Chain A
Amino acid sequence: MTTGTVLIIGAGFAGLGTAIRLRQAGIDDFVVLERASDVGGTWRDNTYPGAACDVPSPLYSLSYAPNPGWSRAYSGGAEILDYIRSVVAEFDLRPHIRFGANVTGLSFEEGSGTWTARTEDGRRFTARAVVLASGPLANASLPDIPGIESYTGHKIHSARWDHDYDMTGKRIAVIGTGASAVQIIPRLVEQARTVRVFQRTPGWVMPRLDHGYPGWLTKLFRRRPAVQHAYRAALFWAHEVMALGLVWNSPFTTALQAVARAHLRLTVRDSWLRRQLTPDFRIGCKRVLMTSDYYPALQRENCKLITWPIATLAPNGIRTADGIEHEVDCIVFATGFEVHKTSTPYPITGRGGRVLAEEWSTGARAYKSVSVAGYPNLFLTFGPNSGPGHNSVLVYNESQVDYIVRAITLLRDRNLRTMDVRADIQDAFNAELHRKLARTTWNSGCRSWYLTEEGFNAAMYPGFAVQYARELAAFDADDYHLSG
């Protein structure tokens, strides 16, 4: 058994960011539990061809660890992973990380005021506080399609890419047309014999203004970090403005839709294909797709968009409801992730044996997305209602981490046994939050992975990034029950 002050679960952006900030606050006895053998989280797992970030790289990096060497505006997955590794080296985090530690359960012990994490290999780690940095996109999800087990060809999930499988000359099906799919498809059409894209609902597509950074700019960023800082700030505010159209349904939403429609009209010639690609919900309701090469890829000779519902998977391929069987050598599932809106990645047992997944069965709720009543000294990163629809997730994450570090510092400084958010404070917070959510585009009537089947939004934050940051800037001990 290993004991320390803090256990951090997950060595992705959030876990590593927490580790850095804890150390900067003078807390050194923490352990990072990582199920894989390397750092990087989502960026380590998602190595599919074309994987890249939707947010410009200077904004999709830690504010206190700028990277002047980004090669382009929207960097690819490999470059982001390199950045994460460089951060680990710069802040000397490796000694704190326990690789191969796949957490299978977490439980709180009232007497000692400690949490114990059990791992798959039988190890136990105990600490005063736990930071759940497992990430919302940690677990790949296969769709519920009849006959999925009967298919005998090759299967690949976008988040667990099989690099040993050669796509050259193969007949490939891609199921899903979300953020991963629109990045994969343009690469696949260059390699495969045929690519069939199975779409359920089309998303709004905005052109992505990707470009390489010229050498002189990289040099300038290196020599004058303030310039890069200012550039990041400009990108941040440009994204903040987008909230006006993407978070709330407004004339700005209509303007953004007009841009997306114009993009569609200019790049897709066939009117029926355009109709098939035109969403019937307001932009922002689902994640906006940022790509300039998806539409051209769909119109390549060897590519076909199929919008018929999938009836069943058969041994040789996919049968659609128009009665046709599409024979394929490989199916790529770009069907997203298991986002924990009503559950947790592993059982989490709090005070008096309460189980978090049971309390969240109708939708996850927390206080400021970080604390949950009944689970003292437990902190979440990317917790309920912390997702942005318009800005870099790392901006939100830095606010969470700073809040958590403030809380843990107080725990240590006052030598507290437990710090448990008050249930009444949490309830009032959620009532207000969901009142605000009701007026957002996400809750305007479409189905998306942000919502539960019942339409409960446990994913998104209804406001600007600056509002979120302000909300988390102060840690008020009065919001918590503290015990010594």
Chain B
Amino acid sequence: MAFDFEDMLRTVKDKQWALVDIDWDAPGADLITEEQRPKLKQFMTDLVWIENIGARGFAALARKAPNETVKEIYTYFHAEEQKHANAELALMRRWGMLEGDQVPEPNVNVRLAIQMLDRYADGAPLSGLATLIPMLECALDGALVKFLLDEVADPLCHEVFKHINSDESRHIAVDFQVLDLVGAGPLRRLLIESASILKPQILLGLLLYVPLLNKMRDNIVAMGLSERKLHNAVKRFVTNGQRSANTRRIPAYQLFKRQAAMVVDRTHPYHRYLADPLVRLTSRIPARLTGKTPSWARELTHEPVAE
């Protein structure tokens, strides 16, 4: 039976939650140990920025949506990713990791990704973005968040991520349905669309995406996330995609599938010859060269109420 996007849109609207629904002063904040705090701060900072980047990705997708309903769904997903980032900031605030209205600084790879997205996301091919986003979400949902919940005892964190995971499960469901829809198009169109990946700016974007992903992978593994979990998360992306013959026809899916497999396998030469040198290279880029942060990346807030 065909997927009912209208029905999904209704569910998305019905399931809206707000930061004010959560009691941010509820007991449990002291369950974060002093030992955990610095690592957790770094982890949460990365998570906040991944959500923010994901939000911008959905904003770009909304422009290319195959129909009006999907476009509206993406518009909500754009906002929901921002909500997740806001909620994670609110958690950081609860745990005493933020001073005043401070928003933690993104690392250089995130800043580069923000710049790239700001400039080129709206021009990127639909099949590329529509494949990349579910891959990141599978990793986020299946590895990062699970890991976080294993590590953190604060019950409020679990309550917040119950909401976030519920949203993410809808995101992933829609992501794969859209891939199925995109893959059902004529092969000629798929190929022409995929060929636009050869534009220099898109190639550059992909090249910057390699160290971004790798650096985060390494950070997270260093914190104790098992390679197994990451591997399983990527496997979920691959198996979900493999279920649809249409999705399998999408060149971008085939490309990202292979790349994802390389990322989780630390013994693959991809790391030695491409990813690691790029991580080293980008880490030397001075902050001033990454340019001014676009205003969409300055809208994050931990305040549930805007006066």
Residue in chain B with minimal CB distance to A171: B307
Shortest CB distance B300–A (Å): 9
Contact mask for chain A residues 304-326; partner B; CB cutoff 8 A; 1 contact, 0 none: 00001101101001011111111
* Main SS class of interface, B: helix
Interface check A327, CB cutoff 8 A: yes
Residue in chain A with minimal CB distance to B298: A272
Residue from A275, A280, A309, A326 in contact with B306 in the complex, judged by beta carbons closer than 8 Å:
A326
Contact mask for chain B residues 72-85; partner A; CB cutoff 8 A; 1 contact, 0 none: 10011001101100
| Chain B residues with CB below 8 A from A271, complex form | 118, 294-295
Interface check B218, CB cutoff 8 A: no
Q: Are B303 and A324 in contact (CB-based, < 8 A)?
A: yes
Shortest CB distance B87–A (Å): 6
Interface check A406, CB cutoff 8 A: no
CA distance A321 to B295 in the complex (A): 18
CA distance A431 to B63 in the complex (A): 34
Q: Are B16 and A325 in contact (CB-based, < 8 A)?
A: no
Q: Are B76 and A309 in contact (CB-based, < 8 A)?
A: yes
Interface check A273, CB cutoff 8 A: yes
| Chain A residues with CB below 8 A from B3, complex form | none
The segment from B17-25, B191-199, B234-242, B266-274 that touches chain A is B17-25
Interface check A447, CB cutoff 8 A: yes
Residue from A272, A314, A447 in contact with B296 in the complex, judged by beta carbons closer than 8 Å:
A272
Q: Are A321 and B80 in contact (CB-based, < 8 A)?
A: yes
CA distance A306 to B16 in the complex (A): 17
CA distance A222 to B76 in the complex (A): 57
Of residues 50 to 69 in B, which have CB atoms within 8 Å of A's CB atoms? 63, 68
CA distance A67 to B38 in the complex (A): 75
Shortest CB distance A152–B (Å): 15
Of residues 425 to 484 in A, which have CB atoms within 8 Å of B's CB atoms? 447
Q: Are B75 and A324 in contact (CB-based, < 8 A)?
A: no
Interface check A413, CB cutoff 8 A: no
Of residues 208 to 263 in B, which have CB atoms within 8 Å of A's CB atoms? none
CA distance A312 to B87 in the complex (A): 18
Interface check B86, CB cutoff 8 A: yes
Shortest CB distance A436–B (Å): 24
Question: Beyond A271-B294, A312-B16, is A325–B306 a contact (Cβ under 8 Å)?
Answer: yes
CA distance A270 to B296 in the complex (A): 10
| Chain A residues with CB below 8 A from B87, complex form | 323
Contact mask for chain A residues 182-202; partner B; CB cutoff 8 A; 1 contact, 0 none: 000000000000100000000
Shortest CB distance B103–A (Å): 14
Of residues 310 to 348 in A, which have CB atoms within 8 Å of B's CB atoms? 311-312, 314, 317, 319-327
Q: Are B304 and A327 in contact (CB-based, < 8 A)?
A: no
Q: Are A309 and B307 in contact (CB-based, < 8 A)?
A: no
CA distance A323 to B88 in the complex (A): 12
Of residues 280 to 296 in B, which have CB atoms within 8 Å of A's CB atoms? 294-296
| Chain A residues with CB below 8 A from B83, complex form | 321-324
Q: Are B305 and A273 in contact (CB-based, < 8 A)?
A: no
Q: Are B18 and A319 in contact (CB-based, < 8 A)?
A: yes
Question: Beyond A271-B118, A309-B75, A326-B306, is A321–B86 a contact (Cβ under 8 Å)?
Answer: no
CA distance A309 to B17 in the complex (A): 13
Interface check B301, CB cutoff 8 A: yes
Residue from A273, A280, A322, A327 in contact with B79 in the complex, judged by beta carbons closer than 8 Å:
A322
Question: Beyond A272-B296, A273-B295, A308-B79, is A325–B20 a contact (Cβ under 8 Å)?
Answer: yes
CA distance A322 to B76 in the complex (A): 8
Q: Are A324 and B305 in contact (CB-based, < 8 A)?
A: yes
CA distance A120 to B304 in the complex (A): 47
**Quick one: which of A275, A311, A314, A325 has the most chain B CB within 10 A?**
A311
Contact mask for chain A residues 132-152; partner B; CB cutoff 8 A; 1 contact, 0 none: 000000000000001000000
CA distance A456 to B114 in the complex (A): 41
CA distance A317 to B307 in the complex (A): 10
CA distance A311 to B13 in the complex (A): 7
| Chain B residues with CB below 8 A from A194, complex form | 307
Could you list some 25 contacts between A and B, CB below 8 A?
A146-B13, A271-B118, A271-B294, A271-B295, A308-B82, A309-B72, A309-B75, A309-B76, A309-B79, A311-B13, A311-B16, A317-B305, A321-B83, A322-B79, A322-B82, A323-B17, A323-B18, A323-B19, A324-B18, A324-B19, A324-B303, A324-B305, A325-B20, A326-B306, A447-B68
Q: Which 5 A-B pairs have the closest CB atoms?
A: A321-B79, A323-B83, A311-B16, A322-B82, A308-B79
In addition to A272-B118, A308-B79, A323-B17, 5 A-B residue pairs with Cβ atoms within 8 Å of each other are A270-B295, A272-B294, A326-B305, A327-B305, A447-B68
